[in-house]
Amino acid sequence: MEEQNYIEGIFRALKTLLVGLKTSIKVFFEKDVTEQYPENRSTLTFSEQNRFCLEMPHNEKNEHKCIACGLCQMACPNDSITVTSEMITTEDGKKKRQLVKYEYNVGQCMFCNLCVRACPHDAIRFNQDFELGVFNKAKLIMQLNHPGSKVEEKTVAPKPVAQVTAPKPVTSAPGQTDKKEE
């Protein structure tokens, strides 16, 4: 800038300033882009990839698919899932593990999706409820299995109906079948 001569420098500087002023006044008359939340709540859409809060889908008979294997708890990097289970004996004498309580601490969750991918039965998924603010920290710990719910009786192979977790392609995601050994 120093080499320019004095007068020329002034005019060049003025020109750049005017260009700047022109740009800003142009934007002044353009449409504003602010989104009006919460008024636009009804029009907000989120794709199913969005991960806001973990949930355990229950069917109309109040049944879920969780077999309390604890893989999600192991996969979680931040210990935000606690699965409490008990061993029961079924009528035909087999020992079986049953879910008692599925606790999920959304305050600790990193939304990394590892639990959902680890689940062999698609029993959990992320939903699109994004308004998670609460006034009490204790409310961040949620119990995901509904009271009185029980595990869905398997009639077919553990490849269930609910395809909601993610748009799964033809080739299934890895570790779906042989994950159990982990």
Partner 1 sequence: MFDFSIITKWFHTLLTGVMPEWLAIGIECLIVLLFIILLYAILAIALIYAERKICAFFQCRLGPNRVGKWGLLQVFADVLKMLTKEIIKLRQTDLLLHDMAPYFVLTASFLTFACIPWNKGLDILDFNVGVFFFIAISGIGVVGILLAGWASHSKYPLIGAMRSGAQLISYELSIGMTMLTVIMLNGTMQFSEIVQQQADFGWNIVRGHVPAVLAFLIYLVAGNAECNRGPFDLPEAESELTAGYHTEYSGMHFGFFYLAEYLNMFICGAMAATIFLGGWAPIYFPGMDGFNAVMGYIPGFIWFFGKAFFVVFLLMWIRWTFPRLRIDQLLSLEWKYLMPLSMINIILMALVVCFGLTL
Partner 2 sequence: MTLDIRTVASSELHNEMMRLKQERHMDFLVNLIGMDWGEEGGLGVIYMLESSKTGETAEIKTSTMDREHPYLQTVSDIWQIANIYEREVYDFYGIIFLNHPDMRRLFLREDWQGFPFRKDDKPEEENPLRMDNEPLADTTKEYFINADGSVGVKENVIFAPDDYVINIGPQHPSTHGVLHMRTRLDGETVTKIDPVLGYIHRGVEKISESLTYPQTLALTDRLDYLSAMQNRHALCMCIEKAIGLEITPRVQYIRTIMDELQRVASHLLYYGALVMDVGALTAFFYTFREREMLLKIFEDNFGGRLIMNYNTIGGVMYDIRPDFAKQVKEFEKALRKRFHEYQDIYSTNIIALNRMVGVGTLSQEQAISFGCAGPTGRACGWHNDVRKRHPYALYDQVEFKEIIREEGDSNARHLNRMDEMLESLNIIDQLIDNIPEGDFQTKRKPIVKLPEGSFYQAVESSRGEFGVFIESKGDKSPYRLHYRSNGLPLIAAMDTACRGEKIADLIAIGGTMDFVIPDIDR
- If the CB atoms of residues 26 and 61 are measured against partner 2, the closer one turns out to be 26
Among 2, 3, 30, 91, binds partner 1 (CB under 8 A): 30
Considering the complex, what minimum distance in angstroms separates the CB of residue 148 from partner 2?
32
Angle at CA of residue 52, ends 47 and 55, nearest 5°: 100
Cis peptide before 77 (omega within 30 of 0): no
Binding span for partner 2 by CB under 8 A among 36-44, 136-144, 145-153, 161-169: 161-169
C-beta separation of 94 from 35 below 8 A: no
Dist. CA 61–CA 67, nearest whole Å: 17
CA–CA dist 7, 25 (Å, integer): 27
Interface characters, 16-55, with partner 2 (x: CB under 8 A): xx-xx-xxx--x-----x------------xx-xxx----
CB of 10 vs partner 1, minimal distance in Å: 7
The token duo for 105 is 């601490």
Q: Is 129 exposed, middle or buried (0-12, 13-18, 19+ CB in 10 A)?
A: exposed
Query: Should residue 138 be labelled a site residue for partner 1 when binding is judged by CB under 8 A?
Result: no
- C-alpha 127, offset from chain centre: 6
Region 2-21 residues binding partner 1, contact defined as CB under 8 A:
10, 17, 20-21
In degrees to the nearest 10, what's the CA dihedral of 158, 159, 165, 171?
A: 130
**Side chain identity at 3, as an amino acid letter?**
E
Residue span 96-115 as binding mask against partner 1, x where in contact by CB under 8 A, dash where not:
--------------------
- 81 DSSP 8-state letter: E
Q: Does residue 28 belong to the site contacting partner 1 (CB under 8 A)? A: yes
Binding site for partner 2 (CB under 8 A): 1, 12-13, 16-17, 19-20, 22-24, 27, 33, 46-47, 49-51, 75-78, 110-114, 117, 126, 166-167, 169, 171, 173-175, 178-179, 181-182
Binding site for partner 1 (CB under 8 A): 10, 17, 20-21, 23-25, 27-28, 30, 32-34, 36
